[in-house]
Each structure stands twice: as structure tokens, then as C-alpha cells.
Amino acid sequence: MNRLAQVLQKDDLFIPFITAGDPSLDVTIELLLSLQKQGADVIELGVPYSDPLADGPTIQAASIRAIKAGTTLPQILKMIPLARSKGVHVPIILFTYANPLYQYGFETFVEQASTFEVDGVLVPDLPFEEAQTLATLCKANGLSFISMVAPTSRERIKKIASSASGFLYCVSTTGVTGARDQLPADLKKFIDTVKQHAQVPCVVGFGIHKREQVEAIQQYADGVVIGSAIVKEIEKRGKQLLIEREKEKALAEIEHYIGELQGINTVSR
């Protein structure tokens, strides 16, 4: 059983998202360690892209900062073994748009991702009908190809859910990522429909930023993905994270926020 499959045996999965290279790749490794320390079961690591259609303003801004800092896909891939050598053991899912993969080459990307200890890949703008080549390559190289499913027709939900691997990312609402004050009224009904057809854990993302939302979703889904809210906390402390004497305090504050989302007491670094 691989690293991701072992973790997915758990209930109430906590899957945070951060953008690689925001504010730097060195700090990204420290953020991975902080997320792991605060109970992350899986981490989604975003590959910065200039036109991130699924992302709201917070993650778009993080992508721009990372690109301006010179972050590239090859650098991110090479960073992951370094993170592993420093103690990061949680599964890492690369969240990347399709265009960088077309430029890189699907086969080259998948082979390198597998070699560099990535556990899975999620491509939000690659339609289900066009994803089979990449999904097949991932399977052949021991990677999970993570599918996303949004509120849509029952027939399409069944098609996507029944073929999912790893876990299934259930989009709580249409639109882009970003914090929302209220969960959709019909979210439970949507998740119940998805779970009728899925053989893998169903986790919910988009808009989650409060402990009460996490607790509500845990009643009917297998876990939560939290992105924009965490990226916002990183953005607030971007300058401090790059200053050695201020970095520890900034990381501790981010860990405290993660602890609040998790409903756990944090400890000092």
C-alpha cells in the first residue's frame, strides 16, 4: 500500500493547499513541515500559473508572487525530494493547470513526478473526457490522478465518481476558489449523491475558512480541502517569512491558525 492509500484509510481528512514558491521555495519547505506538524493528512501543492481559471483573487495573487520570484515547475519537482529529506512525509498532490503540462510533456512530467516522490496530480482545467491519457500515465507510474466533481447532472457525477482514484475532490459550489461565509444549502445532498458512486474518499473544497464549516462538512464528507484561507495567512506574513529573525514567529502564527481550523491546541515552535 502506497503512502497516499495508507493515509486515506483515516476519517476526517485535513488537506491544506499552498502555492509553491510563495514567498520562496525554501519557505515552502518550512510551510510543508508546519502543515504536517499541525495534522495535515495530505498536502496540495499548487504550481503557479499566470492564468489560473479555477482560482479566486487570493490564490491568483499567490501565483503571481511565486512566478515573480522565479518559481518553475522543474524547480518545484526538484524541491520535493529535498523536502522529504528534511522530514516531510505526508503525501503531496501537485495541483497544476494543463498548459504547463502540455509544454513540459505529459510523459516527462509524470515520470519525473514519480521519481521525485510526488504522490498524485490534480489538473482542474482538464475535462474528464480529455484526462484519460494523463490518468493512464499516472497509474502506470504509481501516481494517483485526482478528479474533481462539481454539482452537475447525476449522470456526469456517476461517470466521474465511479472512475476516481486516490480521493475525489468535490467542489462545494460553482465559481472560483475563495472564502465564503455560508456553505451551500444543498451541499450534503450533492455529497450524498457522489458517495453513492465513488469507491474512494470524498473531500470537499472551495470556500472553507472557519472551524464551524469544517465541523459541518465532517458530518457527511470524508474530509476538507482548505486553500485560500491558508494562502491568505501566508500572504499576510510574506515579508516576515523571508527574514530569518522574523520567520519563526510568522510560522508559529500560521500554525496557530491551522490549529484553530483543526480544533486542536497548538504548541510553540
Among the listed residues 55, 119, 233, 255, the single catalytic one is: 55
- Using CB atoms within 10 A of its CB, is residue 254 exposed (0-12), middle (13-18) or buried (19+)? buried
Q: Is 44 annotated as catalytic?
A: yes
**Can you spell out the DSSP letters for 21-77?**
TSS-HHHHHHHHHHHHHTT-SSEEEEPP-S--TT--HHHHHHHHHHHHTT--HHHHH
Query: Which of 22, 30, 44, 235 is labelled catalytic?
Result: 44
Give the Cα separation of 160 and 157 in Å (integer): 5
55 is catalytic: yes
Cβ atoms of 20 and 71 closer than 8 Å: yes
Closest by CA to 208, choosing from 173, 248, 167, is 173
Give me the active site residues, please. 44, 55
